[in-house]
Structure 1
Amino acid sequence: MLDLKITGGTVVDGTGAERYRADIGVKDGRIVEVRRRNGADGAGDGLQADAAHEIDATGRIVAPGFVDIHTHYDGQVSWDDTLEPSSLHGVTTVVSGNCGVGFAPVRPGREQWLIELMEGVEDIPGSALAEGITWQWESFPEYLDAVEKRSLAVDYGTQIAHGAVRGYAMGERGARNEEATPDDIAAMARIVQEAVEAGALGFSTSRTEAHRAIDGEPVPGTYAAEAELFGLGRAMAAGGRAVFEVSPQGTAGESPAEATMREMDWMTQLGAEIERPVTFTMIQTGGAPDLWRRQLERAGKALENGVELYAQFAARPFGMLFGFPGYHAFTHRPTYRRLKAELGHEELAARLADPGVRETILSEADLPPQPVPLFDGLYALIQHSADRIFAIGDPPDYEPTPDQTVAAIAQARGQDPLAAMYDLMLESDGTAMLMLPFFNYADGNHDAIHEMMTHPAAVSGLSDGGAHCGLICDASYPTFLLTHWARDRHRGPRFSLEYVVRKQTLDTATLYGLSDRGVLAVGKKADINVIDMQALQLDVPRMAYDLPAGGRRLVQGARGYDATVVSGVITRRHGVDTGARPGRLLRGVR
């Protein structure tokens, strides 16, 4: 008697091999049989064993559950057992604790400091974190123990973050990025090794000056010397099989190319010394649009020499979404400020549509920005970017053409660009979002991303699931990879579905040493997606107000997932959460 069987589907098994018709049998959370269907039409003898549950996957793709290695659910895991929005997109395993920010270890009384650090770097409402996190820990092993008590919709693994380690070991000196002494490094090394021995999947650090706490201070570790980085890398390796994750930049005052390649140098040296994978975030920037090629060339040479150095790329333009529910061009107009303070979300949208209110807001001067919070000055950037801002459309188009910019739409309508921007945001009852790509779109298309995806030293990452709640909604990358890159792209070459599935299953799982998942094969963990590829479609991003304390976040759903299975248990059926919670804490290899 099987627990579950999935019959008649077309298996894309995660290895990149050609698809085939087969039935899959599951028992005790594992795949126990993969029986290929015979005959040209895939008929033949199917799996005859009885099962407690059966999914008819005829006409559907059956693929492994997706492994998302770059998320920020460090706090959300305390209160949300679904870990949405990632679980909406076929993700069955998430890796958190990226970019040098996390919530353990923490000294009693320093919880708010970690909240403000996370809020500034990852744009997660501090009020939601303050209300939602239960703080049942001080050390990192205690944090893992607290998460282990949770029953989740997906498996949750995490890394120990440099910012929290520095603040814990060095106090205010660490928080303010003072240079670490040998004793400081030794103290931090003990914490990192203990964390990996307890099950941390890796260690993460941020070296980009764009990552700042809510008070404007850079993330602790931003300017760490190589002695500190190598000391913590050695400690991580001593603890077990873990990954060293970096958001790179370099020394202030250097050119982007100089800084980036200096980072590549020490990361390569570290990977060679500790014999552990080093992975870094990589995007195409407008100021140095070809620098990513140099990074990949260096990473490729490292791989050829036996050093595991991998870039994490974003599957689509990396930028921001904005509209009246979030950040936008009119946040500093006096009338808008007054109405927002007085009205709820729906009432505000209705008032903004009033012609008199519209005319007043468009004619007003802006109030001056404040030094903090960090995003207070975005309105000015948006006002002067009409030629780079796009109407995203429904279904969303993430590779838009020049005629879809706000400036082009305004010209076609005979409007001022700000007036056109206002009217576009009024659509869908004032909930419409516009898109401003910052990175990965220097050439106005996805050709750079296509090239990144073909490189053996590049893995899919940077979804930032759980983070950037008011600006970015990229936890939907897994669905976008399937729809855009394997089916819909019209402005350049696509990939096979087999290739795209592998990029977010076997490849991502392998980087983090998760050898029990990412492939549909006998003995592997039964994390499975049943997908209607013809119906698969991303929804339009929307603003929800469902975080603790009424905090807001951008959410993007999808249609076309018939079922998602975690450890042999159906967690979502036809897009609806079943309430099953088979997901657990994922500890690394000691």
Structure 2
Amino acid sequence: MAQFQLIVRNGTIVDGSGSEPFQADIGIQAGVITAIGTISERGDEEIDATGRIVTPGFVDVHTHYDGQITWEHQFAPSSQHGVTTVVMGNCGVGFAPVRDGDHDLVIRLMEGVEDIPQIVMAEGVPWNWRTFPEYLDALAERKADIDFACQLPHSPLRVFVMGERGANLEPATDDDLEAMRALTREAVEAGALGVSTSRNLFHRFRDGKLAPSVNTPEDELIALASGLADAGSGVFQLNLNIDAEADGEVAAISRIARETGRPVNFSLLDLAFRPDNWGTYVEALRQADEDGIPLRGQFLPRPIGLLFGLDLTLHHFALNPSFRPLANLPLAEKVARMRDPELRARLLAEEPDDPNPSFVAIIHNAKKLFALSDPADYHPRPEDMLDVRAQQAGISFKEMVYDALLEDDGRAVLAVVGSDTDAYLEKTRDLFDRPNLVVGLGDGGAHYASVCDAPYPTYILTQRIGENGLPLPKAIQALSSKAAESLGLYDRGRLSIGYKADLNIIDIDRLTLHRPSIEQSLPAGGKRLVQKAQGYAATIVNGVVTYKEGIATGALPGRLVRGEQPRPMAA
């Protein structure tokens, strides 16, 4: 019997610690790295990594694959971009705990907050659980291409405890708070990595009603975090109130961290309508690190945004009355109808109309947008922006957008960004190296037809290395060990003896990120954005090759990760 089940030879090792690359072989046995250096023995399987970098598998701490894992075995698109562990149950939404009569409510909430079509979840989710521990037990039976972990979501927990009162945003009683605290402890002891909530006013049901967690007072948040303290483990993941002054939000999350002793990870967003909040949050994180308060910010490596297209959820005319009869037509027929001058004139004259004010606001505020090329370039020049092109062409902005949507026979994808790209790259340059800032917010498994940020690892490696001074070792560290350790997963994210054998072998010079495209591959024929990459020679999970040159091998070594994982003894 060979000493190694797999040997990766002659690679340039970027080990996830932030240290400089070095040349070595890596030996793997029983899903664990057992040797690094010059290996003279032979392995059952060997991969020649000459001329390629070898990195730890990437860890995505902010996803919404809670439903997808119940109906399929691949965490696409994340697993196609070097990610080997995902964490689900963010933003306070998910599928457990849930009473038998509340399945539709939970589905409608996920539809509104995470843009997952109702019919997809109604057909795809099996509901073979009721409590959160039962949900974890159901997931433990699933096999996947990568590992996955869960957090307890606040909104379904609130409805589970309070029933209709919880859905209607009524205040929790002392008994309600005690029950939520106890169930949080139970969830963490069963294997949840923590609890999540959202104060984000954009998080609503599709009809515009606020998500149950959004307006909950601080004592309820303290109760959840106290459940983590009772369990002695777990992170509190939180979406801030984006319409509030940053000082008040910082004070609230700092109190939660201080009073309970549990870490608070929050979404750090750069929003044009609150331009001063970003700097306040970044400075608060610097001060928290200095003061020993366990706060972390999760940030996107490029400006937050959406994708618009005729076959996607949104575009500038999607909510117009005259577009509704076209919404579900095949793309070719939709394009043919929109080329009609009379319909064009009506659509250009109308304004968006929808019961959910968040969607209307998105349309009205979508002024910074550009057409994505292939390969995808997320760093547009000023002259690429559609408002500039409209001015140069002597037509209105809406006319320019209308014409752009019809390009490539309606397959054009327009990227809408919430802030200036160059300014965002500059202000995030140093965040990758800050101890309590974590790259993420890819939202894989959600916004299937409006966001495709889950491939952000490939974006970083193709468009941020060297940009604004970001060196490769720091980028890999941010994608692997820093992300893993922010949620207590100390057994992965590094190429070191004793660590999990999760690796990527990447031809960095050939790495390419293609333009997103739409396919109908969800249950009930639902649409989702996909984004391919070239240059991932191999991805390895638990010592098993899961992807070769971007093609799935069919191996499913990924499993549910229950709770925090200790650092390997060998390390």
Task: Calculate the TM-score normalised by the size of structure 1.
Answer: 0.91
Shift of 1:376: 5.7
Matched, 1:289 2:281: no
Which residue matches 2:343? 361
Q: Return the alpha-carbon distance in structure 1 between the equivalents of residues 241 and 25 of structure 2.
A: 48
Which of 40, 49, 53 is residue 45 of structure 2 equivalent to? 53
Of residues 426, 430, 450, the one that matches 2:429 is: 450
Where in structure 2 are the equivalents of 1:365-444 lying within 5 Å? 365=347, 369-372=352-355, 377=360, 381=364, 385-386=366-367, 388-439=368-419, 441=420
Asked whether the equivalents of residues 141 and 194 of structure 1 are also in contact (C-alpha less than 8 Å), the reply is yes
**AA in 2 matched with 1:360:** E
Distance across 2 between alignment mates of 1:347 and 1:271: 54
3-state SS in 2 of match to 1:586: coil
CA distance in 2, matches of 1:74, 1:193: 20
Match of 1:17 in 2: 19
Do the aligned residues in 2 keep the contact of 1:284 with 1:442 (CA within 8 Å)?
Answer: no
- Are the aligned partners of 2:270 and 2:418 in contact in 1 as well (CA < 8 Å)? no
CA 1:409–1:369 in 2, change beyond 3 Å: closer, same or farther? closer
Q: Write the letter of the residue equivalent to 1:572.
A: Y
**Amino acid paired to 2:226:** R
Paired residues, number: 561
Q: Distance in 2 between matches of 1:113 and 1:497?
A: 45
For structure 1, the residue ranges without an aligned partner over 5 or more in a row are 36-45
Q: Which residue of 1 aligns with 2:297?
A: 311
Cα separation, partners in 2 of 1:297 and 1:334, compared to 1, 3 Å: closer
Percent of aligned positions with the same letter in both sequences? 42
CA-to-partner distance for each residue in 1:113-160, whole Å, 9 max, x for gaps?
A: 001111101111111011100101000000000000000001010100
Given that 1:148 and 1:585 are in contact with CA atoms closer than 8 Å, whether structure 2 keeps it comes out as yes
Q: Distance in 1 between matches of 2:167 and 2:353?
A: 23
1:77 aligns with 2:64: no
Partners of 2:220 and 2:400 lie apart in 1 by: 51
- Select between 368-377 and 268-277 the one with higher mean Cα deviation: 368-377
CA distance in 1, matches of 2:255, 2:327: 52
Amino acid at match of 2:440: G
- 1:540 paired to 2:515: yes
Secondary structure class of the residue paired with 2:247: helix
CA-based RMSD of the aligned residues comes to: 2.1
Which residue in the other structure is 2:552 paired with?
Answer: 577
Partner in structure 1 of residue 530 of structure 2: 555
**SS of residue matched to 1:256:** coil
Which of 95, 100, 125 in structure 2 is aligned with 1:103? 95
Post-superposition offset of 1:426: 2.5
Question: Does residue 218 in structure 1 map to residue 204 in structure 2?
Answer: no
Task: Give the equivalent residue in structure 2 for 1:480.
Answer: 459
1:340 deviates by 4.5
Show the counterpart of 1:41: none
1:494 Cα deviation after fit = 3.0
The answer to whether the 8 A contact 1:469-1:552 is kept is yes
Residue type at the aligned position of 2:318: T
Using the TM superposition, give the Cα deviation of residue 399 of structure 1 relative to its aligned residue in structure 2, in angstroms. Answer: 2.1
Whether the 8 Å CA contact 2:433–2:474 is kept in 1: the answer is no
CA distance in 2, matches of 1:339, 1:512: 44
Pairwise mapping of residues 238-253 of structure 1 onto structure 2 (< 5 A)? 238-249=230-241
1:293 Cα deviation (Å)? 2.0
Match of 1:205 among 193, 197, 200: 197
Cα distance in structure 1, aligned partners of 2:319 and 2:220: 43
Deviation at 1:442, TM superposition (A): 7.5
2: CA distance between counterparts of 1:340 and 1:457?
43
Shift of 1:482: 1.2
The answer to whether the 8 Å contact 1:310/1:457 transfers is yes
In structure 2, the residue corresponding to 1:235 is in which secondary structure? helix
Q: Say whether residues 1:499 and 2:474 are aligned partners.
A: yes
Matches for 1:76-155 after TM superposition, within 5 Å:
76-155=68-147
| Uncovered stretches (5+) of structure 2, i.e. residues with no partner | 566-571
| 2:503 equivalent to 1:528 | yes
Preserved CA contact (<8 Å) 2:320 2:353: no
* Displacement after TM superposition at 1:303 (Å): 2.0
Per-residue CA shift, 1:325-350, capped at 9, x if unaligned? 12222335676544455x4234434x
Secondary structure of the structure 1 residue equivalent to 2:238: strand
Distance 2:166 2:130 in 1: 17
Aligned to 2:483: 508
Residue 568 of structure 2: aligned partner = none
1:499 counterpart SS class: helix
1:331-350 matched pairs, under 5 angstroms: 331=318, 336-341=323-328, 343-349=329-335
